[in-house]
Amino acid sequence: MWSLTPAETAALLLSLKVAFWSVVVSVPVAIALAWVLSRLDFPGKSLLDAVVHLPLVLPPVVVGYFLLLLLGRRGPIGSLLDEYLGVTFAFRWTGAAVACAVMGLPLLVRAVRQSLDAVDRGLEDAAATLGAPPAWVFASVTLPLILPGILTGVLLSFARSLGEFGATITFVSNIPGETQTLPLAIYTFTQVPGGDAQALRLCILSIVLSLAALMASEILLRRANVRAAGRDA
């Protein structure tokens, strides 16, 4: 009853793998985008802002379909990647990670940008007068101060990835062991007669997983906040 079947274990591990890599890939991109949106002023900035936020408001199926068009074997970007780098995303778990990264990106960018806006620029000036070049100021002052925002964003996009359904199934289909993450497995069981009990087991697994992620991030966030506020730990 309490042990997982091999198929369930496969779906769980795949979900974790996809969510993990989607976050790893999107964090640097999100920090760069958040920095550009927070610190620079240029024509077309609100357009960039809107494009970054699109996945938040579009139906996930639309995002998945566009990914398929762009990154599919015959897509303009997908064919280049395939030809020169030998990388394919279509119907692979890596494609699922890309879909999750795109869907989670706006959540990450928002969280990071908010904490970037709140950083006291005077501290960065102070570091510069002490001899720190701009890249060092970013790494040693800005980054530690926005760590709580990054952690919040990581949690949100990780949770979003665990629950991602529409974009994934549209872009990389529903292949057991390759692209069938937990939500896709749950969906599959609900579609076959007599699959209710198994669907429920996977639902409970999802809840446990999400709770664990929430609690872990809460602990990390508390530590990061203490540091960023300058209190003694």
Partner 1 sequence: MLDVDVRCRVGGFALDAAFSTNAGVTALFGRSGAGKTTLLNLIAGLTRPESGRITVGGRTLYDAATGINLPAHARRVGYVFQEGRLLPHLTVRHNLLYGNYFNRKQSHVIGFDAAIELLGIAHILERRPGALSGGEKQRVAIGRALLANPEVLLLDEPLASLDAPRKAEILYYVERLRDELRVPIVYVSHSLDEVVRLANTVVLISDGKVLGAGELREIMSRAELRPYLGRHEGGAVIEAQVAGQDLESGLARLDFAGGTLEIPDVEGLPGERVRVRVRARDVSIATSRPTGLSIRNVLAGTVVALGEEDGPSLDVQLDLHGTALLARITRKSAAELGLRPGLPVFALIKSVSIDRRSVGYA
Supply the minimum distance, in Å, between the C-beta of residue 226 and partner 1. 9
Of 81, 26, 21, nearest in space to 52 by CA: 26
Nearer residue to partner 1 within complex by CB, 76 or 144:
144
Of 152, 201, 177, 145, nearest in space to 7 by CA: 177
For residues 86 and 225, give the distance between their C-alpha atoms in angstroms, rounded to a whole number: 43
| Residue keyed to tokens 């960018």 | 109
Token pair belonging to 144: 């530690």
Supply the minimum distance, in Å, between the C-beta of residue 231 and partner 1. 4
Nearer residue to partner 1 within complex by CB, 47 or 233:
233
For residues 125 and 141, give the distance between their C-alpha atoms in angstroms, rounded to a whole number: 10
The three-class DSSP label of residue 61 is helix
Supply the minimum distance, in Å, between the C-beta of residue 108 and partner 1. 21
In eight-state DSSP terms, residue 83 is I
Supply the minimum distance, in Å, between the C-beta of residue 123 and partner 1. 6
Nearer residue to partner 1 within complex by CB, 49 or 124:
124
Nearer residue to partner 1 within complex by CB, 137 or 172:
137
For residues 112 and 148, give the distance between their C-alpha atoms in angstroms, rounded to a whole number: 9
Which positions touch partner 1 (CB under 8 A)?
120, 122-123, 125-134, 136-137, 140-141, 144-145, 227-233
Nearer residue to partner 1 within complex by CB, 131 or 194:
131
Supply the minimum distance, in Å, between the C-beta of residue 140 and partner 1. 8
